[in-house]
A and B are shown apart, each in its own frame.
Chain A
Amino acid sequence: MADSLDVAALEAWVREFARSVAEHKDELTALDSAIGDADHGANMDRGMSAAVAALEAAPPADPAALLKQVGMTLVSKVGGASGPLYGTFFLRMAGVLGPDPADDETFARALRAGLDGVVARGKAAPGDKTMLDALAPACDALDAALAEGQPLGAALAAAAAAATEGRDATVPLVARKGRASYLGERSAGHQDPGATSTALLLDAAVTVLSGSAG
């Protein structure tokens, strides 16, 4: 198995996520207007733009340094709930990745460490109508596909499909965490903005990382 998820590949992932967030900024904010406070698109765009600017100002040398810098930037620039949650996600991923290019299995472990960090910081569980509803099934699908011996491209596609399915499944849920939970039953019938941005993160991985390792 080639050790080829290197710093350039991961940087491309971060840049593609930033581009996608900017493209979907209004959609994320519209979803947040329905059940939250109408700032998810603006906040994620501000944070990811700052993360890309930081990469350009001081290009990190290795995968761990790269995702640590992205995580710290998000914690420092975003605020709200998504800053600490996405920031913790990238910081925990950085903790697993280390200085060397990651193989498929290491990347999957890093993604799951990110998931565990989000759980610890946000004290939410799958089914609460949060970003976890996209992230948890994505981690499960990635692990399962790699265990079956599928190449990274196919495994990431399965993970992204699971994230999208999880995102869509948030529509009927009643929110139990975050601002949407204040609505009680009225939060049902709306797609969760956090799960939506997380699905974009997995889609970005498919777009840029599929051919990188194997």
Chain B
Amino acid sequence: MKKLINDPADVVADALRGMAAAHPELRIDHENRVVFRGDAPRQGKVGLVSGGGSGHEPMHGGFVGMGMLDAACAGEVFTSPVPDQMAAATTGVDGGAGVLHIVKNYTGDVMNFEMAAELVAAESGTEVVAVVTDDDVAVQDSLYTAGRRGVGVTVLLEKLAGAAAEQGRPLAEVAEVARTVNAQGRSMGMALTSCTVPAAGKPTFDLPEDEMEIGVGIHGEPGRRRVKVAPAREIAEMLVEPVLSDLEFSGGDGVIAFVNGLGGTPLIELYLMYAEVTRVLEKSGVTVARSLVGSYMTSLDMAGCSVTLLKVDDDLVRLWDAPVRTPGLRWGV
């Protein structure tokens, strides 16, 4: 393993020190490992809290700031944060209008956020609503599984719900925006290589040089099938078609098309993939309203990408265009 680290046990703490140094506009609680907006809590504004295992940067800490999250909790690498962190984040961003928890659908994240909400309810009067993202079509959805994983839609949701909160919408409406975004978005990912968790020291799974993993998760969980490496145009079809067939898209529906890098794929390949994705969308009569291309939800050093499509109406497009100022996403300011 070759990585820019000191000690594998200190990766998260060391990286948070770097974030604090690079972004003095943020306030970082190093003890609880929570990244706060510098001006939190904002009176009268709904607070947005997310969090999850580390290793997905810029998600979530890189999305803290004006127009997006108010706080993000950083867990160990690929491990959900603990309820104490989430409770500290929640009370720290409560400006009297309630707090929205944005939770990716993983067993650990859901249980820890549930325990945090119970803790906050017992200790203060803060109103908390949780929205769980579960947009990964690679996972079969069924009552008998942990359900679909929360992936790319989470990034879009944090931006859109963040904009709604910034406009001063009440908690119920911000939560409604979040639920709508989750219901109207779907994702599918693929990997060319495994990632290497610093504490493990070696790749999480073996992937032969000429094979790729389709339907991969963002924690090095292997995907649902392994196939020979193919040209980008064929990979785009393997990713877009399951998304389109899972969510009814009718002619004229606008989408936000999001091609996300998993950490080890250069931007030139992501743009190349985006070209192939738009070609498939055009063929299917789906109109792209807005786009996002880059590595926003990563899986450490994994090479590969995911494609997310989110159906949007005029309100969501306006929320997308609204100003945002965070380390990871920044426009209109």
Which residues of B, 17-51, contact A by the 8 Å Cβ criterion?
none
Contacts known (A83-B82, A176-B144); A39 close to B76, Cβ less than 8 A: yes
- Alpha-carbon distance between A43 and B199 when the two chains are bound, in angstroms: 10
Q: Evaluate contact between B111 and A84: CB separation under 8 angstroms.
A: yes
> What mask results when residues 52 to 87 of chain B are scored 1 for a CB within 8 Å of chain A, else 0?
010000000000000000000001111111111000
Note all chain A residues with C-beta closer than 8 A to B184. Answer: none
**Within the assembled complex, what's the spacing in Å between the Cα atoms of A35 and B77?**
17
Q: Which of A4-12, A73-81, A145-153, A163-171 contacts B (4 or more CB under 8 A)?
A: A73-81
Main secondary structure of the interface of A (DSSP, over half): helix
Q: Let me know if B77 and A39 touch, CB within 8 A.
A: yes
Please tell me if the beta carbons of A37 and B220 are within 8 angstroms of each other in the complex.
yes
A79 and B76 within 8 A (CB): yes
Q: Which of B53, B83, B106, B219 makes the CB contact (< 8 A) with A75?
A: B83
Interface-forming stretch among A93-101, A105-113, A134-142, A179-187? A179-187
Could you tell me how many residues of chain B have their Cβ less than 8 Å away from some Cβ of chain A?
Answer: 35
Check A122 for interface membership: any CB of B closer than 8 A: yes
Whether B111 pairs with A76 at a CB distance below 8 angstroms is: no
Contacts of A181 in B (CB 8 A): 139, 145-146
Tell me if B111 and A38 are in contact (CB < 8 A).
no
Q: Is B205 an interface residue (CB 8 A)?
A: yes
Is the C-beta of A189 less than 8 angstroms from some C-beta in chain B? no
Closest-by-CB residue of B relative to A82 is: B108
- The residues of A that contact B180 with a CB separation of less than 8 Å are none
Write out the residue numbers on chain A whose beta carbons fall within 8 Å of the beta carbon of B197: 37-39
B80 with A80: CB separation less than 8 A:
yes
Majority secondary structure, B binding face = loop
B137-151 CB mask vs A (1 if < 8 Å, else 0) is 011100011100100
* Residue A196 CB within 8 A of the other chain: no
B211 at the interface (CB under 8 A from A): no
Complex CA gap A11/B245 in Å reads 56
Q: Are B139 and A79 in contact (CB under 8 A)?
A: no
Q: Are B139 and A182 in contact (CB under 8 A)?
A: yes
Tell me how many residues of A have a C-beta within 8 Å of chain B: 32
**CB-contact partner of B83 in A33, A43, A76, under 8 A:** A76
Complex formed: what's the CA distance from A107 to B82 in Å? 29
Contacts of B220 in A (CB 8 A): 33, 37-38
Q: Mark A24-41, 1 if CB is under 8 A from B, else 0.
A: 000001000101111100
Question: Is there an interface contact between B78 and A38, defined as CB atoms closer than 8 Å?
Answer: yes
Considering the complex, give the chain B residue whose CB is closest to the CB of A130.
Answer: B107
Tell whether A79 pairs with B82 under 8 Å between CB atoms, given A177-B107, A186-B224: yes
A37 and B146 contact, Cβ closer than 8 Å, known pairs A79-B76, A84-B111, A121-B111:
no
Cross-interface CB contact of A33 among B79, B139, B204, cutoff 8 Å? B204
Residue of B77, B108, B146 touching A182 (CB-CB under 8 A): B146
Given contacts A43-B79, A76-B84, A79-B82, A33 and B200 within 8 Å (CB-CB): yes
A156: interface (CB < 8 Å): no
* Cβ-based interface call for B221 (8 A): yes
Q: A38-B200, A39-B197 are in contact. Are A77 and B111 (CB under 8 A)?
A: no
The residue of chain B having its C-beta at the shortest distance from the C-beta of A176 within the complex is B144
The answer to the question of B280 belonging to the interface, with a C-beta cut-off of 8 Å to chain A, is: no
Q: Measured between alpha carbons, how far is A177 from B145 in the docked complex, in Å? A: 5
The one of A39, A42, A83, A178 that contacts B112, using a Cβ cutoff of 8 Å: A83
CA distance A46 to B77 in the complex (A): 13
Report the Cα distance A38→B138, complex, angstroms: 20
Question: Is there an interface contact between A79 and B81, defined as CB atoms closer than 8 Å?
Answer: yes
Q: Assess whether B115 is interfacial by the CB under 8 Å rule.
A: yes
Given known A80-B108, A177-B145, A177-B146, contact A39–B82 (CB-CB < 8 A): no
Nearest 6 interchain pairs by C-beta: A81-B108, A37-B219, A80-B108, A84-B111, A80-B79, A181-B145
B residues touching A (Cβ–Cβ < 8 Å)?
53, 75-84, 106-108, 111-112, 115, 138-140, 144-146, 149, 197, 199-200, 204-205, 217, 219-222, 224
Q: A39-B77, A179-B146, A182-B221 provided; 16 other pairs, C-beta below 8 A?
A: A35-B221, A37-B219, A75-B115, A77-B82, A79-B76, A79-B79, A79-B80, A79-B112, A81-B106, A84-B83, A176-B145, A179-B221, A183-B222, A183-B224, A184-B140, A184-B224
Can you report 12 A-B residue pairs in the complex whose CB atoms are below 8 A from each other?
A29-B200, A39-B199, A76-B82, A79-B82, A79-B108, A80-B75, A81-B106, A81-B107, A83-B80, A85-B111, A182-B221, A186-B222
